[in-house]
């Protein structure tokens, strides 16, 4: 009786499999391939152009400030307090974030020169980066408007603003008077 149950138990699954071999599983409907719409193509093209532009800007910046690459090689020689890793996001005035980062390193902070008419705004997104790299990023973002001076021997961080003497700002007047209406000369 046990042999009969075993034989039937094996025969049924084999019979089920053998019947499927004769069935032809052809898909008679052709597959439809969706063409990308024009909006998707324009977005992809814009993304490619933006990537090329960013790469070009990076190359120009590298050529314009070759000292940055040389300074990056000196990071292992930085003092221990400047190699401390920090993680934060910041978008705002440069003085506030520089003062905070100087305090984290145990350094004093000061500004030298005339403050610009509009504050210098920096955007930082540091994830486990050494403080020296954060200071370098701040200096690069300030561009020609100011310099960041970090003196490890005196434990100071200074922002040196570019002089704005004799610089005429757009929509500004050299005097505080504003003429609203002028009379026509009489004839």
Rounded alpha-carbon distances, angstroms, from residue 145 to 29, 72, 119, 138, 159: 66, 22, 10, 12, 10
Q: Is residue 86 part of a domain?
A: yes
Over 60: is that where the pLDDT of 176 sits?
no
Q: Is residue 52 part of a domain?
A: no
Condensed to tens digits (0 to 9), the pLDDT of residues 134-156 reads: 999 999 999 889 999 999 999 99
Question: Coil, helix or strand for 160?
Answer: strand
Beta-strand pair 146-151/156-161: antiparallel
Q: Is residue 69 part of a domain?
A: no
CATH of the domain at 145: 3.55.50.60
Provide the domain count of the chain.
1
Q: How many CA atoms lie within 13 A of 24 on its CB side?
A: 3
Domain boundaries, position 156: 82-161
Q: Is residue 177 part of a domain?
A: no
Q: Is residue 16 part of a domain?
A: no
Cβ atoms of 88 and 138 closer than 8 Å: no
Q: Is residue 181 part of a domain?
A: no
Q: Is residue 92 part of a domain?
A: yes
Q: Is residue 57 part of a domain?
A: no
What is the residue-averaged pLDDT of the chain?
Answer: 78
Condensed to tens digits (0 to 9), the pLDDT of residues 71-100 reads: 454 566 888 899 889 999 999 999 999 999
């Amino acid at each position: 009786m046990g042999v009969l149950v075993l034989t039937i138990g094996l025969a049924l699954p084999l019979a089920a499999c053998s019947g499927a071999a004769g069935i032809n599983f052809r898909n008679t409907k052709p597959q439809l391939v969706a063409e990308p719409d024009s909006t998707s193509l324009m977005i992809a093209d814009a993304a490619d152009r933006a990537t090329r532009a960013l790469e070009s800007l990076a190359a120009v910046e590298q050529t314009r400030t070759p000292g940055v690459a040389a300074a990056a090689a000196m990071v292992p020689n930085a003092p221990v307090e400047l190699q401390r890793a920090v993680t934060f996001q910041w978008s705002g005035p440069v003085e506030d974030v520089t003062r905070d980062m100087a305090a984290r390193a145990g350094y004093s902070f000061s500004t030298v020169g005339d403050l610009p008419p509009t504050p210098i705004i920096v955007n930082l997104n540091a994830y486990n980066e050494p403080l020296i790299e954060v200071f370098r990023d701040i200096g690069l973002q300030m561009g020609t408007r100011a310099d960041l001076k970090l003196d490890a021997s005196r434990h100071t961080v200074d922002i040196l603003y570019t002089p704005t003497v004799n610089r005429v700002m757009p929509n500004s007047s050299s005097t505080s008077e504003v003429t609203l209406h002028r009379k026509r000369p009489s004839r």
